[in-house]
């Protein structure tokens, strides 16, 4: 079986020779087999050597299979030179791969097996590194065969590099320097925006803070830093962190875009898009934690594509309309969205895996931070320039005013005195007008009684006082009997005279603190406070009826008498809210309606 493997790889085994170079990119020399069925054993794979896809030696990208649940096998053979270091490190440079199995053998010897992956806690790794490392001891002038079995719920990108330990250490220093710079920028931006929020109380900054925080945390998960520094003993949280964090970042990002672009989505009839995208991101977070990491990873990448295109379109419209403060801020957002687009296409397998595509979000978000700083600086500079210009204008106006004051001091004094008198007179007139307007707004024009608006205010006040003092008040509704006949027989002026006289008699029969209101043609409403019982109310009712039923003089020799129907409701005995009190009193009033004709003499 092993002999058949070496025969099948003769065509390309000579192309890879391991010597004394510091590192070797092995991905481009690896043949691949993608298995969508049940997991294969090494023995089964060795029997299917003719099913492998040939390697692409001239490709500069790593082997990137996108988002897939398939099992992927990589096959590689190489020969060592006569002189080479013994100790080497095989790096699989994608931290979020779930399971990695290495099988390596020299010539016809038995295969040696090692296991790695992000489902293994960082603390359990033999070699403590943010990526997956396997230590190899290579003999000179020896041919080796190597298989890698990889599967993952996330993006299946397998960049494989063989390093001398010192070279890997030097490469790590460079990558950690870049990551330190990135997270330093992110931390600075978080703190700065928090200070801006506490200073300005602008919620936009508070929304931006968790967006950047979760985005940076998701990048830390992809880079292997979460398992290394935050949860070294918890493989599950390390495994979930990339997609879960990006989902939360997308949720806050959608809210941020909706608020920042303000009226643009509404004017484009797209005000529903960002809230919908935010809901999808929230569901992908829940799906990541409770349902399926793979489904969530697919959805979050597709949603990020839609998010990127939609936000770019809205941002372009906002720039076209020259919205204040949008120039640098939208440019900053565009840089981040473009990086999200590249990342999503990479994760879906559309773009190859290389240093740019694998770290596009790092580059884009770093550029976004710098552009945002420029936006804030431009904003501060614009405000300062406007303040300086306003100060210069104010100084010029002050100089002109001083010159005018010197030339016209005496004239101005007399005019000021005249103006003061005029203002005082105008103020008096204004107060009178205000009082008149208040009178007209709250009182009936014909009778001078309270109108419906003032009645409602008085009713609410009476209800509050009654509740506070645990007291009662009465509501009377009065409708004049036979008023229409008087109005039809003697004319509208006679009807108005009757209404005025009735209003005066009602008001004279009550206390100053009670309310008499006219709410319709011949309808009146009375609010009588501090009435203890229905007996006291009956006395008041009799007094009112007696006063109104006295003859009314219209013109020479014409007197009329008029009756009234009274409906009474008492708080809290009959009802405990205004609407029900009115209803009870209204029904009582119509029940009391008599049917005799008008009397006149």
- Residues marked active site are found at 522
Only one residue has tokens 């994760």, namely 347
**Taking Cα atoms as reference points, which of 55, 73, 61, 64 lies closest to residue 16?**
55
Question: 3-class SS at 252?
Answer: helix
Question: 3-class SS at 594?
Answer: coil
- 288-to-282, 308, 389 alpha-carbon distances in Å: 10, 21, 55
List b or e across 288-319, with b for residues whose CB sees 16 or more CB atoms inside 10 angstroms: beeeebbbbbbbbbbbbbebbebbbebbebbb
CB 29 within 8 A of CB 76: yes
Cα 101 from Cα 162, distance rounded (Å): 16
Q: Concatenated DSSP letters for 92-108?
A: E--TT-SEEEEEEEETT
Instruction: Provide the pairing of β-strand 523-529 with 473-481.
Output: antiparallel
CB 159 within 8 A of CB 92: yes
Q: Kindly tell me the burial class for residue 424, based on how many C-beta atoms sit within 10 Å of its own C-beta (0-12, 13-18, 19 or more).
A: exposed
Question: Which residues are within 8 A (CB) of 262 and not within 5 positions of it... i.e. 6 or more apart?
Answer: 323
Cα 548 from Cα 540, distance rounded (Å): 12
Question: 3-class SS at 120?
Answer: coil
Instruction: Provide the pairing of β-strand 71-80 with 143-151.
Output: antiparallel
The pair of structure tokens assigned to 450 is 């309270």
Cα 147 from Cα 357, distance rounded (Å): 26
CA distance between the termini of the chain: 133
CB 208 within 8 A of CB 333: no
Instruction: Provide the pairing of β-strand 552-555 with 558-560.
Output: antiparallel
Question: Which residues are within 8 A (CB) of 239 and not within 5 positions of it... i.e. 6 or more apart?
Answer: 96, 98, 118, 119, 293
Cα 248 from Cα 283, distance rounded (Å): 10
**Taking Cα atoms as reference points, which of 568, 563, 562, 518 lies closest to residue 539?**
568
CB atoms within 10 A of CB 567: 22
Cα 426 from Cα 589, distance rounded (Å): 48
Cα 552 from Cα 549, distance rounded (Å): 8
Cα 278 from Cα 259, distance rounded (Å): 13
Question: 3-class SS at 325?
Answer: coil
The pair of structure tokens assigned to 367 is 């550029």
Residues in the chain: 601
Name 443's bridge partners.
Answer: 450
Name 524's bridge partners.
Answer: 478, 518
């Amino acid at each position: 079986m092993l002999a058949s493997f070496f025969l099948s790889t003769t065509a390309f085994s000579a192309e890879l020779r391991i010597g004394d170079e510091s590192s070797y990119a092995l991905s481009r020399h690896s043949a691949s087999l993608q298995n969508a069925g049940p997991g294969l054993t090494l023995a089964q794979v060795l029997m299917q050597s003719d099913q492998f896809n040939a390697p692409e030696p001239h490709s500069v990208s790593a082997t990137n299979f996108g988002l897939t649940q398939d099992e992927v096998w990589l096959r590689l053979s190489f020969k060592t030179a006569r002189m080479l270091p013994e100790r080497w490190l095989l790096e699989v440079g994608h931290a979020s791969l779930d399971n990695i199995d290495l099988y390596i053998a020299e010539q016809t010897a038995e295969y040696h097996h090692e296991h790695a992956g992000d489902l293994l806690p960082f603390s359990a790794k033999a070699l403590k590194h943010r990526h997956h490392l396997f230590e190899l001891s290579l003999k000179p002038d020896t041919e080796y065969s190597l298989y890698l079995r990889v599967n993952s719920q996330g993006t299946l990108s397998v960049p494989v590099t063989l390093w001398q330990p010192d070279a890997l250490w030097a490469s790590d220093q460079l990558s950690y320097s870049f990551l330190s710079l990135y997270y330093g920028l992110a931390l600075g931006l978080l703190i700065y925006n928090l200070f801006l929020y506490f200073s300005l109380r602008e919620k936009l900054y508070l929304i931006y803070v968790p967006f950047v925080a979760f985005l940076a945390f998701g990048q830390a998960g992809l880079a292997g830093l979460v398992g290394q520094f935050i949860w070294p003993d918890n493989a599950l949280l390390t495994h979930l962190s990339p997609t879960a964090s990006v989902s939360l970042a997308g949720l806050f990002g959608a809210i941020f875009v909706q608020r920042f672009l303000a009226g643009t989505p509404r004017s484009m009839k797209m005000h529903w898009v960002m809230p919908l995208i935010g809901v999808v991101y929230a569901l992908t977070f829940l799906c990541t934690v409770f349902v399926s990491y793979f489904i969530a990873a697919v959805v979050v990448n597709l949603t990020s594509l839609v998010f990127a295109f939609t936000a770019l379109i809205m941002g372009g419209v906002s720039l076209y309309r020259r919205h204040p403060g949008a120039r640098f801020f939208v440019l900053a957002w565009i840089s981040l969205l473009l990086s999200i687009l590249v990342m999503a296409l990479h994760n879906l397998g559309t773009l190859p895996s290389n240093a740019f595509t694998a770290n596009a979000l790092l580059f884009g978000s770093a550029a976004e931070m710098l552009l945002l700083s420029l936006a804030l600086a431009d904003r501060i500079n614009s405000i300062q320039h406007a303040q300086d210009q306003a100060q210069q204008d104010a100084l010029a106006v002050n100089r002109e005013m001083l010159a005018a004051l010197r030339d016209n001091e005496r004239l101005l004094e007399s005019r000021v005195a005249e103006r003061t008198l005029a203002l005082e007179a105008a103020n008096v007139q204004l107060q009178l007008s205000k009082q008149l307007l208040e009178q007209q707004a709250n009182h009936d024009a014909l009778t001078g009684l309270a109108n419906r608006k003032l009645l409602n205010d008085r009713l609410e006040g009476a209800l509050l006082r009654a509740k506070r003092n645990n007291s009662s008040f009465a509501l009377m509704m009065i409708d004049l009997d036979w008023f229409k006949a008087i109005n039809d027989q003697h004319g509208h002026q006679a009807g108005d005279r009757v209404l005025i006289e009735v209003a005066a008699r009602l008001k004279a029969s009550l206390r100053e603190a009670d309310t008499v209101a006219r709410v319709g043609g011949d309808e009146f409403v009375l609010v009588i406070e501090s009435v203890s019982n229905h007996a006291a109310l009956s006395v008041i009712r009799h007094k009112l009826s007696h006063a109104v039923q006295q003859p009314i003089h219209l013109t020479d020799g014409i007197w009329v008498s008029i009756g009234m129907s009274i409906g009474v409701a008492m708080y809290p005995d009959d009802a405990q809210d205004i609407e029900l009190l009115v209803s009870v009193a209204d029904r009582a009033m119509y029940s009391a309606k008599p049917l005799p004709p008008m009397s006149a003499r």
